[in-house]
Amino acid sequence: MDELEKRIQRIEERNVGVENDKAWETSFTRKLLIMAFTYLAVGLFFSFIGITNAWINALVPVLAFFVSTFTMPFFKRAWLRSQGKKI
């Protein structure tokens, strides 16, 4: 029985890690960090290659990511329904 208890304990520990990863993946903080790093990287790149209004143009991919993070859950639910999955 001791081995079974150890296996259950390992599964529960793994589940905590999975839950934490899921919380991070869906967190607003993560999305904000991705947007900030994308803006900085694209802005610097656009400045380096000499695009006019580089920092304004760098907003395009950031805004596209922002919009996608809010529309994807809608499309996910629609897809799940089309596959006959429970939501």
Question: What are the pLDDT digits (tens) for 30-73?
Answer: 999 999 999 999 999 999 999 999 999 999 999 999 999 888 88
Can you tell me the distance from the alpha carbon of 33 to that of 27, in angstroms, rounded to the nearest whole number? 10
Can you tell me the distance from the alpha carbon of 27 to that of 74, in angstroms, rounded to the nearest whole number? 17
Can you tell me the distance from the alpha carbon of 25 to that of 19, in angstroms, rounded to the nearest whole number? 10
Q: What's the predicted TM-score (pTM) here?
A: 0.76
Most confident of 7-11, 33-37, 78-82: 33-37
Which distant-in-sequence residues (6+ apart) come within 8 Å of 31 by Cβ?
65, 66, 69
Domain range annotation of the chain: 2-82
Can you tell me the distance from the alpha carbon of 60 to that of 81, in angstroms, rounded to the nearest whole number? 31
Give residue 86's pLDDT band: very low, low, confident or very high (50, 70, 90). confident
Question: What is the residue type of 18?
Answer: V
